[in-house]
Each structure stands twice: as C-alpha cells, then as structure tokens.
Amino acid sequence: MKWMMYKFSAYNRILFHREKSLSILSDGDSCLRLRTFVQDAAIGLFSGWPLLFCPHLKSTPLPWQGLFILNVSTHSEKGDVTMNSELQQVVKLSEEYNLIPIVRYMMADTETPIRLFQHFAKEKHAFLLESVEGGVKWARYSFIGTDPFMMLYGKNGEMIFEKNGEKISFDDKPLSLLKDHLRYYRSPAMSHLPPFTGGAIGFFGYDLLQYYEKLPAHRIDDLQMNDLQFMFCDQVIVFDHFKQQLQIIGNVHVPKETTQTGIVQSYGVEEAYNAAVAKIEATVERLQQQVKIPVPIGAGVPTMPEVGDVQSNLTKEQFIANVDKAKEYIRAGDIFQVVLSQRFSIETEVDPLHVYRVLRTMNPSPYMYYLKMGEEVIVGTSPEALVKVDGSKVETRPIAGTRPRGKTPEEDLALEQDLLADEKERAEHLMLVDLGRNDIGRVSEFGSVKCDSFMEIERYSHVMHIVSNVTGKLREDKDFYDAFLSCLPAGTVSGAPKLRAMEIIAELENEARGAYAGAIGYLGFGGTLDTCITIRTIIFKNGKAYVQSGAGIVWDSVPESEYTETVNKAKALLTAIRAAEQLFGKPGDACDQNFNAINSDYYIKAGEGFVQ
C-alpha cells in the first residue's frame, strides 16, 4: 500500500475549492513522495508531514492509536467528488446530533499556553483555563478560546442573549435559560477528545441563589456585576501538556432543515462541515503569525513589593463588630458557622494578563483562569472545586483548614501534624464535609454518596490544606444543572446552615459580593461541568482591581484574628498586582518582542478526527 505525501511550507498551501476538489500550490521546491503506510504514518505524525490519501484509498486507523488520518475531499478516478472519511462520519452522526466536534492537531513542544494566548489577548472576549495538580504538576489540558458565537448575561431579573449583534431580553430564571440553550445542542461524547470540546464559559455570581430562594438583597451594589455571564464558544484550542500538542477543536452546526424530514441531507451538513473546517484553518493561520510578547522591564522574576495604598469597603472596627454580631447568632442557635468577608481595592493600570502570569507562578492552583468579558477581566487561582459532573459521577471537594508550608521537610511535617491536631480546624472541616454530603445527596441515587478521601493534607506552593472528596451517582431524573444549583454557593464561603448563613451575610455585609464566592468554570455541549469557587480572585474594572476575602466565624472565633485572616488572604493577591507592575510597568512600558508561535511545518492538515 502506497501513500501520497506533500510537504507543507510557507509557500505550499492546500486549498479547498467550492466544488470540494483538492488543489496544491507549490513553490516548485518540494517533492512528492511515496512511502509505505507505516513509514508515512510515523513521519506524518512526528515530523510535520501532513498525510493526504490517494483518491482511491479509504481511511485507515493507525494501528497503535486507533485514530483516523483524514483526507480532504478529492476527485475519484471517475472525476466525481467523494466525501472524506471525517465528513462521512459527520453526516452519519448528524442523524442523531446537531453539534459535532472535529479536531486538527499541531505540534507544540516549544510553546506555552501563555504565548499561544497572546494571539487573542486583545480580543473583547477571550478565556484561558489552566490547572496545576497538588501545587507541583501541570494538569494535562489548558483551554484557550475567543470569538463566542453567543453571550448570556444579566442581573436583577433581566437576562440577555446576544447573538450576531442582536440582543434578546428574557425574564426567565438564569439557570433555566442557560440549561435550555445548552440542551438545544446535542453533541456526542468522544473518548479520544478532552473533557471540554466547546460550550459555555464564564461565572455565576454569589447572589444567583436569590432567583431560587427567598433571600434578602444586599443594600449596595457598587461593582454592578452581572448575576452571571457566559461566552458560548464552538471552537476551543486545547494545549495537551502530556503530548506537547495542540488540539484545535471546532464544531459542525448541523442545520435544522437537514433533519426535519427525518432524512439527513448531506449537502447541508457538508456546507456546515466546510464552515467549521474553514474556521479552524483561519485559527491555524492566526497561530502562524508573529505575535508580540511583552518582556519584563524589571527583575526577571516576581519579587514581593509593598502593596501601598489599599481601600476597603469596611473599616477594621466595622468588620470586628460584624464578627461579634455573627457570634451572637451562633450562640442563639441560628447557625453553626458563617463566612464574613471584606473587599479591598487598589488603583492600577497594569495589564490583567501580566497579573495572571505572576499569579500562576506565585500560586499555582487546581483552577487558574483568565476571563476577559468586555470591560471586566477576572483573574484567579482558586484551590477549591465547587462541583464537577462527568457522566453520572457528581463530585465536590471541600477545603477547610490551612497552614503555611514549612521551610524544611521537618518543619513542613510538623505544621501538617499541628493542622490535623487542631480541634477547631477539624470541627470546621467536618461541618463542611457534612454540608457537601448533603448537597450531593439531594441529586444522587440513594446510598451512592461516599467520602472518597477524608481529611487528607494537600500541599500547594505556599500553603497546605485539609481536603476531603465527596462523590455520588447522579439520579436519572437530575442533570448537572441540578447538581450545580444544589451546591451553590459552597458552604466554605457561606456557612451552615447555608440559607440562614446567607441571610446573615446579607444583613452584615454592606455590598453585594458580585462574582466573589460564586463559581467559575465551563458547561460543555456534551453534558460535562467543571466549576470552582470564586476565591483568590481579582476583578479588574474601571481602572481598579478588586479583591475580596473572607473568614469562617464560629462560636469561639477571635474577631481580631478573623480580621487578620482576611487581610492576609487579600494581601497575596494585591502583592501579585504590584509585582506585575514592577515587572511590566504600565501599558506600553514593557518591551515587546516578536515570536512566531507556531511552525506550520508541524501542522497535521488533514486531522485525525474520530475514533471508529
């Protein structure tokens, strides 16, 4: 069996014509090669040679991976147009699904997610999601996206969908709207693709529960943030840290008219497929362009500068008075615990992306995010999941109890033992585990809720936490929206019992929390959900940076200590802002250098698409 190959360079382009034929424009330098299947597959996958099928050959899975090397549409020997293997499978899947992911791969062993994201950093809407496991190991995938085809946002009972420049207002409950619009898209689960292949990315505000429970509103809402805000993205760039590879995942929007009669009209699907391919091709071209990367003007690594002038929405005396009042409620039996917070703000002109770059090095965490949504930018490194749903498995991971890391292994172990022996920390953690079991239990099958891990120590770069993991099997009459609503907001940022604690928070805290203590994450078209609690997060808006932090108040809390805890938590984030200013200065101060982020020789043009 022989295979046809053509080297792809800056002057060689494979063009898709309207009649779906294949043309190759060459500079005359490259040669056409014929090799055996195994040789071609190895060279094509690992040496940057795109593989093109001979017109008379069918697609063949690689024996060691089971992945298709897919051709573009070509003319058969008789001269008629034939479908490529990927398109054939898209047509078949369109009988059941109306949104079908396709994928192209690029070698990226010299790249980083930050450098790749620079191509989209100036867009009005963009996101970068990353993760570090255990504070020391990068999780497998980082997700990059921009150019949402639809937006959902709103507050005070009015929700707005924005699509193609048009805005439609609804007075429905926000989660119901989000649920209905995501459910419209039926997307197949692909075992060889990452867990997120497109969907809604954004944040849920802390006060979202007011739409579903009778809760008092905060008296002041100075930040004027939406109750929720989501970008619907049908293309995602996935950085695979394990394979050192990019997966550019697009989605084929199957037109309604192709399936209304019950018979799939392949021409409509083919047009939608070509549109998705063209969008991927445009992204590839963009990634091949030079991009300016700001180079630090100061020290090469972040230092610990002074925070300087900081404003708070509460005085120290007001916060301590709130703690005393909360303890009265605890003694009266209203609650066991409540989390009180204060919001700090500083003026800054620093690029929020520079702050994210500093944060991800100073405080690597399981959930790291950069969300740019118009005039607001949300940057954070949260250690704590809110709820995660994958298939029928629902999971939450309460964190409570903290100590700093030791300077030596011996000191680190001593601090761990001290933390686990602290009765107050243990009692608080146990309370939150029980709350998590209750939240998960409301949407899980009877008897399926269990604690996979209990009161284990999880270490991060600067601190260690007590962590437990609670899982359950989602009931058949529930979905990930029900699981999310059951867990929002987390007990670690509200209290127990949750609703009464939220009533007390609304009474004692002057201002609406906005995004703080809500959730950030994605809801996939395929039914996956992964969200974290919005803590250790910075909101950039109107030339200011806002940081909110809280402390869990129990019956024997010392008000002065609780105040200090909120200050110390916020200080770490405020320091990251000042460090970014020190490193990069104001916009325009940093020295830009041109980098060609992607070498086009390593683009597998034909893709690998589907598992058979």
- Residues serving a catalytic function are 465, 492, 516, 536, 552
Return d(Cα 455, Cα 269) in angstroms, integer.
Answer: 52
Query: In Å, how far are 42, 296, 308, 583, 593 from 300, measured between CA atoms?
Result: 40, 7, 22, 7, 15
- Take residue 33 and report the two structure tokens written for it: 């090669």
Helix 423-441 vs helix 480-487: crossing angle, to nearest 10: 150
Return d(Cα 141, Cα 154) in angstroms, integer.
Answer: 30
- Torsion over CA: 102, 106, 107, 111 (sign): negative
Q: What are phi and psi of 285, to 5 degrees?
A: -60, -40
Q: Which of 515, 492, 490 is nearest to 379 (CA)?
A: 515
User: DSSP state, 193?
Assistant: S
Return d(Cα 231, Cα 235) in angstroms, integer.
Answer: 11
Q: What is the CA radius of gyration of the chain?
A: 26
83-88-94-98 Cα dihedral, nearest 10 degrees: -70
Q: Which of 383, 501, 493, 394 is nearest to 439 (CA)?
A: 394
Helix 409-421 vs helix 423-441: crossing angle, to nearest 10: 70
Please answer whether residues 466 and 492 qualify as being in contact, where contact means their C-beta atoms are separated by less than 8 angstroms: no
For the chain, what percentages of helix, strand and coil (3-state, to nearest 5) are there? 30, 35, 35
